[in-house]
Amino acid sequence: MRQKAARFGVTLAVAGTLAAGALATAAPASATTTGWTAYQAYRTLQNCVSAGTTKLIMEGYKEYDCRWDSPYYMLWLRK
């Protein structure tokens, strides 16, 4: 009985991981339909945030978002 419960727990964990992975990969596609544009990838979050802030100030973007896109952080911009 314990083995069944343990196997069920592992199955749920794998299903959760797969669902989270599907949602994470779906984000860029849905982001482009809502006005977000991928700009450039950065090695560190700090560099991504710095570039996003510069884009807001210098080029008139309204929003930026740094999203983890393994192995880099992708800078997304919205006008």
Give the dihedral sign, CA 40/50/23/21: positive
Q: How confident is the model at residue 21, as a pLDDT?
A: 44
Please count the other Cβ atoms lying within 10 Å of the Cβ belonging to residue 31: 17
Q: How confident is the model at residue 18, as a pLDDT?
A: 42
Q: What is the pLDDT along the chain (79 residues), one digit of tens a residue?
A: 555 554 544 444 444 444 444 444 445 555 566 889 999 999 999 999 999 999 999 998 999 999 999 999 999 999 9
Q: How confident is the model at residue 25, as a pLDDT?
A: 46
Contact 67, 27 (CB under 8 A): yes
